[in-house]
Amino acid sequence: MKKVKTAVIGCGMISDIYLENATTQFSILDVVGCSDIQPEKASKTAKKYEIKALSMEEILEDPSIEMVINLTAPKAHYDVIKRLLYAGKHVYTEKVLAVGQEKAKELVELAASKNLYLGASPDTFLGAAIQTGRFVLDSGIIGEPTGCLAVLNRDNRVGAEFIPYIAQEGGGIGFDVGIYFTTALSYLLGPVEEVSGFMATRAPMRKHMYPSHDNFDQTYEVACENQMSGSLKYKNGVLGTVLFNSESIMNQYPELTIFGTQGILYLSNPDFFGGDIKVLLRGNAEPVVFPQNHGYAKNTRGVGAAEMAWSIRAGRTPMASKEIALHSLEIIHGIAKSSETGKTYRMETTFERPRALPRGYLEKSEFADFPADQEAALV
Ligand SMILES: NC(=O)c1ccc[n+]([C@@H]2O[C@H](COP(=O)([O-])OP(=O)(O)OC[C@H]3O[C@@H](n4cnc5c(N)ncnc54)[C@H](O)[C@@H]3O)[C@@H](O)[C@H]2O)c1
């Protein structure tokens, strides 16, 4: 199979795990270079991964580069993706597609009109945990799904001391992290029809609180939401509740649960690829951990880009598709709109539920001299 020549744009915090995985785990990707608006960052990253430091123009003008992985901050996504699509590149982007539903929609339409692939994170739903959840659900183990619950609490008062964009436009708890929950639920339950909810920015002005911070004691604006709650009606009849709140404490126990006619499926944190999946069946007091038989239990950021590269070669729709990304973003946008208007928001987009990955392709086999190859699941 001809590898897909790929470049990376954006050499910040998340680029390390992407490049580590892309250069060691995914044989379909041939990462040739990286770029950043701050060229010294690109040079440092290029040296570390033995690839070329490139300018944006060099990427745009090189016809051998087929695909670009966009790891810039959310505010830059729209411009970067648009330029790449106009240059004829397939694009895989970190979340979210763009800041603002209209801009995201425009990118999706542009990619479609140019017959180019556009894929987007979160790709954690390709990981072992949510794939196991999908297997449980599709097997009918909890019966028909009827309800779902997503609860996410963090402390962005602390987080914003280290990651500035989470206090900026597009970096709020719903769009930045709630998107993992809405995407996982989209993948498991299919499209949503209607949304209502509330959104708020508690304490919109605050001070940097750590003496080690360059701007200690200076006031900054929280230019995004930090509380969001919503009510979702899925096309398949499931009713759901979500709470995304970054004015609490960071904890290990975000909740993602699907309630069915015969049992309850407790999923793990959809920000991660692995984690225990538990099932509680009618008549039992305690849930049991369901055994996992899928690959990608570790931090496999970039698996969505690799699956998209395999999809390009196969001529099929990628799993982390622009359609599921746009729909999952629209759910959050819908909560915001409903909060503004005081009315229910009717969803405009839809998507085909992506396939389930085959089981049994694990990272390790029980025979040390026959290592398994989990990439086979993506082909
Ligand atoms: N940091 C995390 O833990 C994390 C986790 C999951 C996903 N993400 C996502 O990954 C993306 C990047 O996040 P990050 O934390 O690495 O941010 P970051 O700010 O550390 O890195 C972004 C990089 O993009 C560069 N950049 C900005 N605009 C650019 C442009 N127009 N052209 C070229 N380069 C440009 C910046 O110079 C910076 O080096 C975001 O979409 C974010 O939502 C981040």
- Determine if ligand 1 sits within 6 Å of the CB of residue 11: yes
**Mean pLDDT in residue range 270-289:** 97
269 and 254 Cβ atoms separated by less than 8 Å: yes
Note the pLDDT tens digit of each residue in 22-60. Answer: 999 999 999 999 999 999 999 999 999 999 999 999 999
The per-residue pLDDT for 369 is 66
Tell whether 320 is covered by a domain. Answer: no
Calculate the alpha carbon distances from 241 to 61, 154, 182, 244, 257 in Å.
47, 18, 11, 10, 10
Residue appearing with tokens 């017959």: 115
Quote the tokens at residue 325: 């990304």
**pLDDT above 70 (res 266):** yes
Instruction: Please tell me the least confidently modeled range out of 33-47, 107-121, 140-154, 245-259.
Output: 245-259
Sign, Cα dihedral of 324, 356, 256, 274: negative
Strand, helix or coil at 117?
coil
Tell whether 343 is covered by a domain. Answer: no
- Determine if ligand 1 sits within 6 Å of the CB of residue 41: yes
- Determine if ligand 1 sits within 6 Å of the CB of residue 99: no
Q: E strand or H helix at 359, and its extent? A: none
- Determine if ligand 1 sits within 6 Å of the CB of residue 44: no
Shortest-distance atom of ligand 1 to CA 79:
31
Tell whether 166 is covered by a domain. Answer: yes
How far, in Å, CA of 125 to CA of 123, rounded? 5
Contacts with 197 (C-beta within 8 Å, 6 or more apart), sequence order: 228, 229, 230, 231, 242, 334, 335, 336, 338, 339
- Determine if ligand 1 sits within 6 Å of the CB of residue 196: no
- Determine if ligand 1 sits within 6 Å of the CB of residue 123: no
The per-residue pLDDT for 343 is 98
Could you tell me whether strands 4-9 and 67-70 are parallel, antiparallel, or unpaired per DSSP bridges? parallel
Backbone dihedral region of 184: left (phi > 0), alpha (psi from -120 to 50 degrees) or beta? alpha
Domain encompassing residue 204? 125-289
Note the pLDDT tens digit of each residue in 69-101. Answer: 999 999 999 999 999 999 999 999 999 999 999
Quote the tokens at residue 227: 């509380």
Q: Which of 16, 20, 37, 89 to mutate to test the pocket of ligand 1 (most atoms within 8 A of CB)?
A: 37
Tell whether 340 is covered by a domain. Answer: no
Q: Count structural domains, the chain.
A: 1
The per-residue pLDDT for 205 is 97
Backbone dihedral region of 133: left (phi > 0), alpha (psi from -120 to 50 degrees) or beta? alpha
**Mean pLDDT in residue range 328-337:** 98
326 and 339 Cβ atoms separated by less than 8 Å: no
Quote the tokens at residue 296: 């990608």
How far, in Å, CA of 286 to CA of 292, rounded? 19
Q: E strand or H helix at 223, and its extent? A: none
How far, in Å, CA of 181 to CA of 269, rounded? 8
Note the pLDDT tens digit of each residue in 96-138. Answer: 999 999 999 999 999 999 999 999 999 999 999 999 999 999 9
The per-residue pLDDT for 156 is 95
152 and 178 Cβ atoms separated by less than 8 Å: yes
Residue 373 binned pLDDT confidence (cut-offs 50, 70, 90):
confident
**Mean pLDDT in residue range 214-237:** 97
The per-residue pLDDT for 257 is 98
Q: What percent of the chain has pLDDT over 70?
A: 98
The per-residue pLDDT for 365 is 67
Quote the tokens at residue 92: 């895989």
Q: Which of 8, 9, 14 to mutate to test the pocket of ligand 1 (most atoms within 8 A of CB)?
A: 14
122 Cα to the center of ligand 1, angstroms: 14
Contacts with 261 (C-beta within 8 Å, 6 or more apart), sequence order: 142, 143, 144, 146
The per-residue pLDDT for 253 is 79
For residue 278, what is the domain's CATH number?
A: 3.30.360.10
The per-residue pLDDT for 362 is 87
How far, in Å, CA of 137 to CA of 248, rounded? 31
How far, in Å, CA of 227 to CA of 247, rounded? 7
Strand, helix or coil at 100?
coil
**pLDDT above 70 (res 354):** yes
Peptide bond between residue 96 and the one before it cis (omega within 30 degrees of 0): yes
* Mean pLDDT (the chain, rounded): 96
State pTM to two decimals: 0.97
324 Cα to the center of ligand 1, angstroms: 22
How far, in Å, CA of 65 to CA of 68, rounded? 8
Give first-to-last CA distance, the chain, whole Å: 10
121 Cα to the center of ligand 1, angstroms: 13
- Determine if ligand 1 sits within 6 Å of the CB of residue 7: no
190 Cα to the center of ligand 1, angstroms: 29
- Determine if ligand 1 sits within 6 Å of the CB of residue 12: yes
**Mean pLDDT in residue range 333-346:** 98
The per-residue pLDDT for 368 is 65
84 Cα to the center of ligand 1, angstroms: 17
Shortest-distance atom of ligand 1 to CA 93:
41
The per-residue pLDDT for 367 is 66
Shortest-distance atom of ligand 1 to CA 271:
6
Tell whether 269 is covered by a domain. Answer: yes
CA nearest ligand 1 atom 9, residue: 94
**Mean pLDDT in residue range 133-145:** 98
Tell whether 220 is covered by a domain. Answer: yes
Tell whether 283 is covered by a domain. Answer: yes
Number of H helices, E strands in the chain: 11, 17
Tell whether 284 is covered by a domain. Answer: yes
**Mean pLDDT in residue range 219-243:** 97
Quote the tokens at residue 376: 């086979």
How far, in Å, CA of 229 to CA of 335, rounded? 7
Strand, helix or coil at 293?
coil
